[in-house]
Structure 1
Amino acid sequence: MTRRVSFMARAGWIGLGSALCIALAACGTVNPDDPNRPTANPGLGTKLLLGNANPPPLTPPVDQAIKRDCPPIEILEGAASHRVFDGEATDPFSVRWQASIAETARECSNLGVEAGIRVGVVGRVILGPKGAPGTFSVPLRIAVVDEQNKPVYSQVHLIAVSVPSGDTKADFTKIDDQIVVPTPTNRFRGWRILVGYDPQPTAEPKSARRRG
């Protein structure tokens, strides 16, 4: 089951530089030696991650250790949902639509001196009292931080979600299979994958590269 951790700022992300590091420092942490450390839903992982038409190459034999040590996913509290209101009002009766995160999955693969991280997110858009069917742009951020809470990868994905005429909701799936990071000597101890909605995206860190 996906964990939700405390986040000091209001809904949304307040930058990914020092502000993110400070915020994450105040969050609950995961003990990398804890045998009860959360892992992704294997059924969802198979559906989302292994069903991709272009899986990343693996170094034979498959590195089972890196799969086991893959960082856990955390949904930041305050960023698990995203509401859009009609005009300036912010009451529940003025909601046009709301996006939420239902499930997540992740998988790590050995690329030699680097590691590939694949992240899957299942979400849902629901129309509110002021909503109408249509296509909506959902801002989903996926980030990876190391054991010092330093962002090594961050990307905002604007996902087009269409609610058809006559319906009030629509599900969506996002797979980010472009994450490549140097394989850490600590085998990802203390690393985390963070997901959440970011209505005000900021500049992306340049330390990690996307798969070409």
Structure 2
Amino acid sequence: MGLFVQSISKRRIAAAAFLASSAILAGCQQGSGPNLGIGAQNAEPAAEAIRESELRAYCPPVSLREGTAYFRTYERGAEGDDSKIIYQASIDDVTRACKYQGTPSITVAVAGRIVPGPSGRVGTITMPIRIAAMRGDEVIYSQLFKHQVSISDTAGATQFLFTDPDIAIPGGIDRGVQLFVGYDEGPYDTP
């Protein structure tokens, strides 16, 4: 009799397991049912939907003007003397992103590094970074920023990242718009 009871118990367990797995599979196929964590790792929080038209829309490239990718500062009165360089900064990469929802705008990002010179010292330095947009020969946006970077070590390079967000382009973003980035020693009150 003990063998018979064990056989019935095994059948009941097998039947219960079969019914449970059938219910789970049915729930998965219908998109409802218990969530047992299957696929939970792939779930991402809801974000702003990007429309196909935005993916296909034109976003003007950003360029460095010749001679504006590097910037040096010297000790006072020693301009041009390489032994008196405080630091040399360079722009290594530039990129942009266009936003078309609401008011069309562009965000420009600049990445670079600062290398201390023979007269280098720790502290905060200010770099003059200009972002400009042109349509043909017309300047439609120009801003000169005083971007500050903290230098904590003179033994190596310090990386920096600068972003100019939400640049409004009069007349909208089209193929006639060109973006430029570079160091510009000013003056700061000029376009």
Which residue number in structure 1 is paired with residue 81 of structure 2?
Answer: 91
Please say if 1:200 is aligned against 2:186: yes
Overall identity of the aligned pairs, in %:
33
The one of 36, 57, 60 aligned to 1:71: 60
Please tell me whether Structure 1 or Structure 2 has the larger radius of gyration of its CA atoms.
Answer: 2
Q: 1:149-173: CA deviations, max 9, x gaps?
A: 2111111121111111453321110
Which residue number in structure 2 is paired with residue 150 of structure 1?
Answer: 138
- Normalized per residue, the structure richer in helix is 2
Please say if 1:181 is aligned against 2:172: no
Structure 2 distance, partners of 1:158, 1:62, is 36
C-alpha deviation, 1:204, in angstroms: 5.1
Which residue number in structure 1 is paired with residue 11 of structure 2?
Answer: none
C-alpha deviation, 1:79, in angstroms: 1.1
Structure 2 distance, partners of 1:75, 1:62, is 28
Q: Is the 8 A contact 2:89 2:115 kept in 1?
A: yes
Structure 2 distance, partners of 1:85, 1:118, is 32
Give unmatched runs, 5+ long, in structure 1: 1-56, 206-212
Q: Is the 8 A contact 2:121 2:154 kept in 1?
A: no
C-alpha deviation, 1:59, in angstroms: 8.3
Q: Indicate the SS of the match to 1:63.
A: helix
Q: Pick closer, same or farther for the CA change 1:58–1:92 going to 2, 3 Å.
A: farther
RMSD, matched Cα: 2.4
C-alpha deviation, 1:60, in angstroms: 5.5
C-alpha deviation, 1:135, in angstroms: 1.0
Structure 1 distance, partners of 2:184, 2:112, is 14
Q: Indicate the SS of the match to 1:64.
A: helix
Higher RCO (C-alpha 8 Å, min separation 6)? 1
Structure 1 distance, partners of 2:49, 2:181, is 25
Structure 1 distance, partners of 2:189, 2:154, is 38
C-alpha deviation, 1:65, in angstroms: 2.9
TM-score w.r.t. length of structure 2:
0.67
Q: Indicate the SS of the match to 2:83.
A: helix
